[in-house]
Amino acid sequence: MFILIGISTPIMIFSLLTTVYPTLNETFRNSLRQIISAISTTSYATVSFNDWTPFALFLMIILMIMSGGAGSTSGDIKLYRILLLCKQCIWNLKMKFKSEFFIKEDTLLKPEGKIFLESSFIIEASTYAFAYLILLLIGTFIFLV
């Protein structure tokens, strides 16, 4: 979660500086507060988003979609599933360059400890993420029409 904040805050500051807020201090303060609110799923907005750039709004929506913590009751894709899908992409790329006799043991660290991943975990995460994104696109299309 801290990596997500560290990456998205400078991007948001760059997007909002000089277009919405006149000073770096005000841009940093408002950007960081809204990013933390979006990632923590508290939805505590302290500024109006009407003046924000389209890219900044897009970044906020992406952060809201992928920022549910493991075990939380938020209705979005959990960070655990995002991490699992990203790691699976990296593992697939690495396996393209490995020998066919290479033994692959995919592991992931969870609060319970190190777990060995079965293909069912990856299939479940990718199926859920795909279904979530399809329903999000359908819902967005319905509201736009």
Average pLDDT over residues 36-58: 84
For residue 58, what are its two tokens? 């897009």
Task: Answer whether residue 138 shows pLDDT above 80.
Answer: yes
Average pLDDT over residues 70-98: 79
Task: Answer whether residue 48 shows pLDDT above 90.
Answer: no
Average pLDDT over residues 42-47: 78
Average pLDDT over residues 2-26: 89
Name which of 49, 17, 19, 14 is nearest 34 in CA terms. Answer: 49
Q: What local confidence, expressed as pLDDT, does residue 104 receive?
A: 74
Tell me the three-class secondary structure of the chain, residue by residue: CHHHHHHHHHHHHHHHECCCECCHHHHHHHHHHHHHHHHCCCCCCCCCCCCCCHHHHHHHHHHHHCCECCCCCCCCCEHHHHHHHHHHHHHHHHHHCCCCCCCCCCEEEECCEEEECCHHHHHHHHHHHHHHHHHHHHHHHHHHC
- Residues near 58 by Cβ (< 8 Å), separated by ≥ 6? none
Average pLDDT over residues 16-33: 90
CA 56 to chain centre: 15
Average pLDDT over residues 131-144: 88
Task: Answer whether residue 61 shows pLDDT above 80.
Answer: yes
Q: What local confidence, expressed as pLDDT, does residue 79 receive?
A: 76
